[in-house]
Amino acid sequence: MHYFPSRRVAGGLIAAELLPKYRYEDCAVLALNDGAVLVGAEIAAQLHCVLTMLLTSSISLQGETDVVAEMDHMGSITYNDRLSAGELEEIRAENFNYLEQQKLQRLFEMNRLLGQGGIISPDLLRERIVIVVSDGLTNGLSLHAAANYLKPIRLKKLIMVTPFASVSAVDQMHILADEIVCLNVMEDIISINHYYEDNAMPPHETIVQIIEDIILHWK
């Protein structure tokens, strides 16, 4: 199956895969964007665990679609590992001012979305089985950004899950995680929204409320 009625339905299907093994474990769900929160909320509800979000933003060069780097809301940069050290050095030298401007802009946008105080805390993740959730992966860059954020935090286990992903993204999931769940592996992904019949996305404030409600319930 390559299409899902909604992100919530997709989350329920992933939860069904995780439930037999992790129902009574101490887990935390970490979503990678607003759409992933809708997927992750179903997983958190069924596993009876907290849900939080790590905001990341892609940085590309002007007029190009290829992503050069992914930045999280703490300002940490993860560069595309498909670029060689020489290529990266050249890109940074030739586009220094533009890249710095993009970093500041993305950081401002993400922190505006997060609001005062943010909605992620290492304390919610420490010593838990962390389930990193995407609503679809064209590449593995956001996963690398999440893995970099999690590196200094002591976890029991790292699981990465998504309703669908490209072949290259699944390869990255295998490298970065202790365990993965990917319901569909695809050669070419048109767009993330394309594979959901219902693409209605609530306002970001509602997404944050979903997270806060679950955190308060299970903290």
Please, what are the domains in the chain? 7-54+120-218 (3.40.50.2020), 57-114 (no CATH)
- CA–centroid distance for 54 within its chain: 7
CB 176 within 8 A of CB 140: yes
Mean pLDDT for 201-219 is 77
Per-residue model confidence as pLDDT tens digits over 112-134: 666 544 456 788 899 999 999 99
pTM, rounded to two decimals? 0.80
Q: What is the pLDDT of residue 159?
A: 98
Q: What is the pLDDT of residue 117?
A: 42
* pLDDT of 154 strictly over 60: yes
In our burial notation (b when 16+ CB lie closer than 10 A, e otherwise), range 180-206 reads bbbbbebeebeebeebbeeeeeeeeee
